[in-house]
Structure formats: C-alpha cells, structure tokens
Amino acid sequence: MKKRIAILGASGYTGAELVRLIASHPQMQIVALSADRKAGLEMAEVFPFLRHLSLPRLCKIDEIDFAKVDLAFCALPHATSQAVIKALPRDLKIVDLSADFRLRDVAEYEKWYGQPHAAPDLQSEAVYGLTEFYREDIRAARLCAGTGCNAATGQYAIRPLIEAGCIDLDDILLDLKCGVSGAGRSLKENLLHAELSEGTYAYSAGGKHRHLGEFDQEFSKIAGRPVLVQFTPHLAPMNRGILASVYVKGDAKTCWAALEARYALEPFIEVLPFGALPSTRDIRGSNLCHIGVVADRIPGRTLVVAVLDNLTKGSSGQAIQNANLMLGLEESAGLMLAPVFP
C-alpha cells in the first residue's frame, strides 16, 4: 500500500518540485494539496507542466483530513510553518522545508529571522535534515527540518574537512552563486527578467545571510568550539542551481581524500577525480551533489567546489529523501532521476 502524502504550500516552486518527484515515486501517493490563495484551482492551472498528472484539487489546509495522511510536506514561507505545524496532529509525520525549525536554539532563530519562535515546544523534537549526517536521527523523527539550500551546499563541501581536522577552522571563505528560483515564486522587482538577466550581484553581504545561522550551528558542533565562516551569496541569472566555491587552508590532496572517504557509500554525493571541477549543468533537476577539489598555486591553499540543484537536493529532493527514511522506505526511492542536460 502506498504512503499517503499531503503537500502544504503546493503552489510554490518547492511544492511543484515535490509533486514532480513524487509522480514517479513507487511508494507514495499524493492525497491532498493545499494553497490557500489558489484553493479551488486544479494544479494544472497553477503549473501547466504538471497537466498530465491526476492530482487532487488545491484546497485550504483546514479542509484536509490528516487522519488519512501518513506524512505531510510543509512547503510554506518562513514564519508561517511554525503556526501551521503547531496546529497539526501531534502524531503526524512532517517534513518542513522552511527555516522555522532548523536552528536548535530559539534565541538564534530570533536573532537571524527577526521574530520570536512561535512553537518552541516543537523545536526540541525537530531533527535537522541534512540526510547524510543525521540519517539515523531522521529515521526515528516525527518532525524533520529541511536545511537551507545554500547551507546544504556549503556543508557538503566543508563538514568532512572539519571532521577530518585537515583545514584551518579560522580561515574558511564561502562564495556561492545561486539560481533565482531560490528566492521563491512571489513577485519581486529585483527578480524581473530585465533586472536580473545579463547580470550578477552579491546580496546579504557582510555576514547578514540567514543561512549563516546553520553554518554557525553545525560547524561549531562538529569542531567543539565556535567556527565562523565568511559567506557571500551571489544571485546568478539561472533558474536552478547553486555553485559553492570554498577557499580553505589545508593540503588539497588530504582534503580530497577526506571528502572521497566520507562520501564513498553515499548514493547522491559524487566526489570528482582530483583536479576536476563540477558544473551546475550536470546536476540540474536531480538529487545529486557533485564536489571537486583543486590545489591553489599558493602552497597550503585549496579550492573545493560543490554544486547542487537548489530545488531538488537543496530542498524538495532532500525532503523526499528524509521522508523515505521516516516512512521506512528505501532512502533513494523516487530520487534516481538522471539530471536534465543540456
């Protein structure tokens, strides 16, 4: 019997990506789709590319009978998920794609997101959803908090290096190029075609990006002491994808070996041969992350480059990977689609 799935916030990009991926999942069936402002519409009216699928009509959240749902994906905006999830049945398995439960310390959430946490009682049971590093915790979880897409990309490149003790923890520079879909589907002037195409710019510079809260939390936990990275994202004129260039002090061959060893058995993380560098073109539409390592001309300096699709491995694909674990399914089920190229 297939697992019954509800998607809350199905009219956004991550909601549509969940539908696209679950459509080919052998053990999941979508039984409810919510989108409050578009309630009553067919999914094909909101996303014509899904027209071939037989899907429930969009509805409001309070119209869903959660007694007939095995797991709910919450693809709602930040600060909305806390209130919504707080009102859902306490025995319902939930994978939240927003930032609302990523930071274990509610004071850190208020610091980075500018408002008090609305569901602190639930925060203690939320498990951070970076699958490859929290697999067993996620398997036993009721509430899983999906990572930020930038945070996931940076962590895949850096975490094994901190674990192996092969880099200088006080000199980590993280430069990201991000696809525009990471900003969501709502209308914003800076995302208009004429404003964005043919140009690239840095944003949230100077240590202001909210995903720094995740880097601080996770890297400091591994190291056993505070670790602060310098992180600047750049908005690139591409729809999907993230490319992270990570500059560290450490021997390049040692860094490559640490990554290769850590990810050797992971189905979705590919460490390229030493000296090869990845491209966002090669992971588009997939749940894959590619990582490359090269030595700099300056002795003792190394460049690590990681790429993933922000909507798939950085969000909805990761969410399904975690849901598979929570539901007792094969972790890779529904996620082995090849990337779309060109």
Q: Which residues are part of the catalytic machinery?
A: 149
Which H/E stretch holds residue 322?
Answer: helix 317-326
Place of tokens 């189905």: 267
Nearest to 92 by CA among 73, 72, 62, 75: 72
DSSP string, 145-190: EPPPHHHHHHHHHHHHHHHHT-S-TT-EEEEEEE-GGGG-SS--GG
| Helix, coil or strand: residue 231 | strand
| Helix, coil or strand: residue 244 | strand
How buried is residue 167: exposed, middle or buried, by Cβ count under 10 Å (0-12/13-18/19+)? buried
Which backbone phi and psi does 113 adopt, to 5 degrees?
A: -110, 0
Query: Rounded to whole angstroms, how far apart are CA atoms 95 and 308?
Result: 20
Across-strand partners of 249? 301
Residue type, 197: S
Residue type, 140: A
Q: Which residue stretches of 165-270 are H helix?
A: 193-196, 212-223, 252-262
